[in-house]
Structures are given as structure tokens and as C-alpha cells.
A = this chain, B = another copy of it.
Amino acid sequence: MQATVTLVEAVIAGGIGTITLNHPEKKNCLSEALICDLCAALEEMWRHEARAVILRAPAGSQVFSAGHDVRELPTHGRDPLTYNDPLRRAVRAIELFPAPVIAMVEGSVWGGACELVMSCDLIVASDDCTFAMTVAKMGVPYNISGVQNLMNTCGMPLCKEMLFTAQPMPVKRLAHQGIVSHAVPRARLETVTRSIAEQIVKNSPLVISLLKEELRLLSASHNLGPETFERVQAMRRRIYDSADYQEGIHAFFERRSPQFEGK
């Protein structure tokens, strides 16, 4: 297989698929269009029975992905992060993909792209990249299944530090906590990533697929009652109805710091 779609490149060889986010003009932001192409590429990989997939940006990228396409966030009283929105569809496509997806990260990772990368099964990164979870800076009410994904991968203290400060976190701290499996110099990034994929490809694809699904089910089993969810939903609605939410988006477009009033 060798397919070329608009915003994403997909190649498969030796059982290893490689998907390259390739929308440099928009810094690989997670627009509806790019996510559609990403999901299509994953389906193509599925049909070709890839036993491991590497998700990457073009070599030498300064930005791995800029996160949400802020232009696509609704501005008037609509929930900006719902089940069928691009980021959630991409996260589910990766989680349900029946073989390991390895994020090979070069450059900075912003906002929703952090969750995209953390929804991958393994992360290998160049030792100079950074991760910034920016929702608190943007004023966007993150949804609870997104938060669960981050918490499952990061552990509580680092998750809170990243979410609450919204600052870029150097990859070394993530590697130290084991969230990023390997942080290596750029020159070795591809070699290290590929060697892990090659080890995976030799093993039983049925067993790996089972293990991935068992781990997904166990880590998704943080069950809550309906009323609790609806209460959280109401907190979220209060936020996307707020003046601060408008301020966050306006400040982003005007390239200035937002002034949040808490209402």
C-alpha cells in the first residue's frame, strides 16, 4: 500500500504503518479535515493488517501539532468538545486500532494534540520537544473522558501541574515519569522508534490486540453515576456560556494574553 491523502501521508511496509501529519501551513492543527484524513489512514492500515503504526510529523518539524483548530470551536452557547468532534474521534480511532500506535514526537505539542499523543500506546520523542496542555489558558471546558485519558497516562501530580499551569513541559520530565517511553536526540529518534515497532511486529498480533483491548477496558472503568455526569456537564455549560470563554478565543486570535474574570 502507498496512499497519499491531502493532509496526512500513509505508508505501510514490513507490517509497520507510518502516518505523517502533513499540514505545515496550519502547524498540523487538529482540524476536521486533518482528522478525517488521519482516521481514513488508520482504517487503511487496519485493512492492510498493519501490526504497528507510527504516528509522526515530517522530519525536522518545529511543531508536532498545534492542537485544536480554534477557528472550528463554536462561539455561541454550544458545547465545544463533544463525542463526535474531531479530537474525540481521533482518540477513539487510536484506542480502538487493533495494534499498537507509537507516537514519534518531534517539536512542540500543544493543547488537544497532547491528548492525541497520550492516547497512543507508546511515545518516543526527541529530547528537545515540549508538551503544553493549554485548555486553562484558552478557557475551554475540557470534557471528562479527555481528562480521564490524560490522568490514566500521566498520573495525578504531573497531570495537575500541566493542566493548571498550562505551560510547556520539557519532555525530560515526562520521560522521567515514564509517560514518554524514550526521549532521545533527534538524530536517533527514527532508529529507536523503528526498532520498537520491529520487535512488536514479530509477536502475536492477536495477543497484542487482546492486551491492548484489556488495558483499554480496565483504564476506562472509572464509573460514575448519571447525576454526577450531569452536574459536570452543567459546570462545563456554565463555562462555554461565559464571557471568559469568548475572551479566551478572542485573545487567541488577537495574539494577546486573555484577561479572565471568572464569569
Contact = CB atoms under 8 A, between A and B. Distances in A.
Interface of A: 49, 51, 77-79, 82-84, 88, 92, 100, 121-123, 135-145, 147-148, 151-153, 155-161, 163-167, 176-181, 196, 199-200, 202-215, 217-239, 242, 244, 248, 257-258, 260, 262-263
A200 B151 CA distance: 19
A110 B239 CA distance: 33
A207 B165 CA distance: 12
A164 to B, nearest CB: 5
A50 B181 CA distance: 37
B147 A202 contact: no
B203 A144 contact: no
B156 A242 contact: no
A235 B210 contact: yes
A204 B262 CA distance: 7
A196 B163 CA distance: 12
Given A147-B214, A221-B224, A222-B226, 6 more contacts: A79-B237, A121-B164, A144-B214, A148-B214, A148-B218, A217-B228
Contact of A145 (B83, B142, B213, B226): B226
Contact of A181 (B122, B157, B199): B157
Q: Point out which of A136, A141, A210, A226 has the most chain B C-beta atoms below 10 A from its C-beta.
A: A226
Contact of A196 (B165, B221, B260): B165
Q: Please give me the 3 A-B residue pairs with the lowest Cβ-Cβ distance, nearest first.
A: A223-B223, A83-B234, A136-B203
Contacts of A223: 221, 223-225
Contacts of A78: 77
B135 A219 contact: no
Contact of A82 (B138, B145, B230): B230
Nearest to A177: B178
A239 B222 contact: no
Contacts of A140: 207
A233 B78 CA distance: 13
A160 B152 CA distance: 13
B224 A224 contact: yes
A229 B242 CA distance: 23
21 contacts: A82-B234, A83-B231, A122-B157, A122-B161, A136-B203, A136-B211, A137-B203, A141-B210, A144-B230, A147-B211, A148-B214, A148-B226, A157-B181, A163-B215, A164-B200, A203-B260, A204-B260, A210-B235, A217-B224, A223-B224, A223-B225
